[in-house]
């Protein structure tokens, strides 16, 4: 929707888009594993499917303000399933604490800000829209991953950009960064 808005779509069309999306989702009935994820989100202690969420929350809580120290996480030693993928933010919170988690989020915000600067100075509309798309993709991934780990939304399986383990995710992120750097390289600097 970010690219849609930047491309000049009308306010009415942008406002109605979420309703169209919700209607399409409602037409497609939820599968049992999706219902399990929603159940685990509402009450992680109700079923076994909430185990990963509970362990992630334990990791966040045990990190305190400054954390246990790098490599000192106990929850990653088999308690959190797939700690290197979806739940890496909980391990970061345990090892680096609230301070480290906020610092990581601020670094992501700085990257998003730099994308905004590149998009604003792009020599053409195509380059600007490309950078806005990459910016939206990475920003949404960060928001979704942090929201899943903190149990704000149901588990989605979205990785934390540049940090979570996963070849495909890293491959596409590097391709996107290459595209952004290509647009950045085309910006003429005034001397």
The model's pLDDT over 158-191, given as tens digits with 9 standing for 90+, comes to: 899 999 887 888 999 999 999 999 999 998 887 6
**83 domain residue, yes or no:** yes
Which candidate, 172, 174, 171, 144, places its Cα nearest to that of 160? 144
pLDDT at residue 27 is higher than 80: no
Domain-located, residue 86: yes
Residue holding tokens 């995710």? Answer: 169
Angle 86-34-77 from CA coordinates, rounded to 5° = 30
Average pLDDT over residues 27-50: 76
Under DSSP, the state recorded for 122 is -
The alpha carbon dihedral of 59, 143, 166, 185 has a sign of: negative
Joined tokens for residue 24: 């399409």
pLDDT at 165: 86
pLDDT at 73: 85
Cα dist from 77 to 63, 84, 148, 150, 181, whole Å:
15, 11, 20, 20, 38
CA gap 135, 170 in Å, rounded: 15
Other C-beta atoms within 10 Å of 133: how many?
19
Residue 85 lies in a domain: yes
Torsion region of 28: left, alpha or beta (phi above 0 gives left; psi -120 to 50 gives alpha):
beta
| 23: in domain | no
Helix ranges restricted to H, 10-164: 11-27, 32-42, 51-63, 88-121, 125-149
Residue 94 pLDDT: 94
Q: Where in the sequence is the domain holding 98, given as residue range(s)?
A: 31-185
Number of domains into which the chain is organized: 1
140/112 Cα distance (integer angstroms): 11
pLDDT tens digits, 63-116? 899 999 898 888 888 888 888 888 899 999 999 999 999 999 999 999 999 999
Q: What share of the chain in percent tops pLDDT 70?
A: 96
> b/e for 63-82, b at 16 or more Cβ within 10 A?
beeebbeeeebebbeebbee
12 assigned to some structural domain: no
């Amino acid at each position: 929707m970010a690219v849609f808005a930047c491309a000049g779509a009308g306010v009415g069309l942008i406002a109605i888009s979420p309703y169209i999306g919700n209607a399409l989702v409602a037409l497609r009935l939820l599968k049992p594993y999706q219902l399990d994820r929603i159940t685990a989100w509402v009450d992680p202690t109700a079923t076994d499917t909430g185990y990963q969420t509970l362990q992630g929350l334990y990791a966040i809580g045990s990190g305190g303000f400054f954390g246990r120290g790098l490599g000192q996480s106990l929850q990653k030693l088999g308690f959190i399933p797939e700690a290197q993928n979806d739940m890496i933010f909980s391990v970061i919170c345990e090892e680096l604490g609230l301070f480290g988690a906020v610092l990581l989020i601020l670094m992501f915000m700085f990257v998003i800000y730099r994308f905004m600067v590149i998009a604003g100075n792009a020599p053409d509309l195509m380059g600007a829209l490309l950078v806005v798309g990459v910016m939206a993709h990475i920003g949404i991934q960060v928001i979704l991953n942090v929201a899943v780990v903190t149990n704000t939304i149901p588990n989605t399986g979205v990785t934390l950009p540049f940090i979570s383990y996963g070849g495909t995710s890293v491959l596409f992120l590097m391709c996107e960064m290459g595209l952004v750097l290509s647009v950045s390289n085309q910006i003429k600097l005034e001397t």
